[in-house]
Amino acid sequence: MIKKIFALSCLLIIPFICFGGLINNSDDIKVKGAKPSENYTTLEFNPGQDVIDDTKGISSTFLTTKFYYGFNDKKQDIGIEIPLLRNEGNNDGLNGLGDILLATNYTGNITEHFLYGLQLELSAPTATKDDLGLGRFQISPAAFLEYSFSSGFFIAGGLKYYDTFWGDSDREKINKLRIRTNFGYISKTDWWIIVDPKYYFDLENGKKEIYLEFEGGFMFRGNVAFYLKPGFHVAGALHSKDWNVQIGVKFFNLI
């Protein structure tokens, strides 16, 4: 399955590298979209794999298309995320559309380098098969704080709440909190790296999880970003998955 992910990623990335050079660069910023406070207009293609149980071969492979429209001088955006999924391990494999996500973000300044952000996400039960989605609507409000240092380092921390409602009453109820921090460095040229630990707390059963992800990326011709994002379960009984890997390509300044 990993070979399929990388093959798909190569098929996506090669034409995008060629296309990226044709987009006009109208912004002097070399690295875009690495910080959670930056709300650009973007088109993103994000293939990856979540390995739920490595010993049993249970996994979910996905290709998510994301479009966000940024406005109000990058302080706000609205967006949509559409996932195509393939689940393996429990059966011969399920393919189809997952739950579509709608989102909006707002960023405000406390000082020049100290910012806050608000986010609201709504996941709709659009999955074409039961095992590809939650079976219910899910609402997820979030808030974060971010501080940027003049050296290129930044730190961000936030709280997010997940709650499912309306839908199949037989499906699992989701009622949990996530505490997330970002420790990042943005170079003065064209690359960045982020350490991204997350702490989940299930309010239904009291189970907890610590999950750690890393992100490294670079810009191409100022308007196309490529990134690699692996992660793994560190501790806790919640254990949403063993590990994951994502590869993404993101276009800026398309409109």
Query: Which amino acid appears at position 186 of this protein?
Result: I
Instruction: State residue 48's pLDDT score.
Output: 96
102 and 121 Cβ atoms separated by less than 8 Å: yes
For 72-99, where are the E strands, in sequence order? 76-88, 94-97
Give every residue of the chain whose pLDDT is below 50, as ranges: 1-29
In tens, the pLDDT along 134-161 reads 999 999 999 999 999 999 999 999 999 9
pLDDT in tens, 91-119: 567 899 999 999 999 999 999 999 999 99
Q: Tell me, what's the pLDDT at 245?
A: 97
Q: Are 121 and 106 in contact (CB under 8 A)?
A: no
Supply the range of the domain harboring residue 6.
2-252
Closest CA to 50 of 42, 58, 38, 41: 58
In this prediction, residue 23 carries a pLDDT of: 44
pLDDT of the residue at 146: 98
SS3 call for 4? helix
d(CA 122, CA 197): 23
In sequence order, what E strands does 54-113 have? 58-71, 76-88, 94-97, 100-109
Q: Find out whether 164 and 174 touch, Cβ atoms under 8 Å.
A: yes
Residue 178 corresponds to which amino acid?
R
Number of domains in the chain: 1
Residue-level pLDDT at 57: 87
| CATH code of the domain containing 7 | 2.40.160.40
